[in-house]
Amino acid sequence: MDCPSYCPQSCYANCNTCKPVCVEHSIHLPMCNTPGACGDPRFIGGDGNTFYFHGHRDADFCVVSNRGIHINAHFIGKSGHNGMSRDFTWIQAIAVLFNDGHRLYVGVRKTGTWDDVVEHLEITLGGEPPRPQLSVTRTKVINGVLVALDGKFSVRANAVPITAEDSRVHRYGVTADDCLAHLELAFKFDALTEDVHGAGRPTAPTT
């Protein structure tokens, strides 16, 4: 199976359609229409319902806690402008605990001026080599990876900034010393039980 001509080095196989899908065109599509989490983050429940979780800036939240896996997310952001009751928030990093003590960290380094040719992602793994197999695959030359643990979960992560235009339009308040670099995320869970906790609890399978 070959990648489409417009993304020859950056695609994956969609097992539901048996077709290759470009990563750049899919970060908010396939995994965001099935049970899991992505984006702001946006959660798709086992019943198909959608909700958004904004958290608070400079705080950590449990995204998912289930048998054999626990995911925390660190939020960054800015105070909302007048009249808003919440912060503008984005996920700067995730920490995944799995298989009795293995620790995976995926984060974005704080950056003033964004440079597209500089690697901004930071990935570390603690503990012995995990079983089943953990893989980290680049989905772009820099600033994009797919982390997958066979039979457990997969996380697609892109490091991106808030652009000056986005900040102007939405009044995010980006400054010269911090472009609010963050993760665009798409989670897919393969073995969640009904006993799911955390912000992503609605991703539990329905009975």
pLDDT digits (tens, 9 = 90+) for 63-97: 888 888 899 999 998 887 666 667 788 899 999 99
With respect to residue 190, please indicate whether it lies within any of the assigned structural domains.
Answer: yes
Residue 109 region by backbone torsions, left for phi larger than 0, else alpha for psi between -120 and 50, else beta: beta
With respect to residue 3, please indicate whether it lies within any of the assigned structural domains.
Answer: no
Q: Residue 177 sits in which domain range? A: 11-203
Q: What is the DSSP string of the chain?
A: -PPPTTSTTSEEEETTTTEEEESTTTTTTGGGSSSEEETTTEEE-TTS-EEE----TTEEEEEEEETTEEEEEEEEEE---TT-SS-EEEEEEEEEEETTTEEEEEEE---SS--TTS--EEEEEESSPPSS-EEEEESSSSSEEEEEETTTEEEEEEEEPPPHHHHHHHT---BTTB---EEEEEEEESS--S--BSTTGGGSPP-
Nearest-angstrom CA–CA distance, 34 and 69: 19
Burial 194-205, CB ≥16 within 10 A → b, else e: eebebbbbbbbe
Total domain count, the chain: 1
With respect to residue 68, please indicate whether it lies within any of the assigned structural domains.
Answer: yes
| Residues 113-172 pLDDT 10s | 999 999 999 999 887 666 668 889 998 899 999 999 888 888 889 999 999 998 888 888
With respect to residue 6, please indicate whether it lies within any of the assigned structural domains.
Answer: no
Nearest-angstrom CA–CA distance, 204 and 142: 33
With respect to residue 74, please indicate whether it lies within any of the assigned structural domains.
Answer: yes
With respect to residue 4, please indicate whether it lies within any of the assigned structural domains.
Answer: no
Please state whether the peptide bond connecting residue 129 to the residue before it is cis, i.e. omega within 30 degrees of 0: no
With respect to residue 2, please indicate whether it lies within any of the assigned structural domains.
Answer: no
Pairing assessment for the beta strands 59-66 and 50-52 based on DSSP bridges: unpaired
Q: What does each C-alpha distance from 20 to 23, 30, 101, 106, 128 come to in angstroms? A: 9, 12, 34, 26, 33
pLDDT for 144 equals 92
Global pTM? 0.76
**Average confidence score pLDDT of the chain:** 78
| Residues 37-64 pLDDT 10s | 555 566 655 555 565 677 788 999 988 8
Pairing assessment for the beta strands 121-126 and 102-108 based on DSSP bridges: antiparallel
Lookup result for tokens 């899908």: 21
With respect to residue 48, please indicate whether it lies within any of the assigned structural domains.
Answer: yes
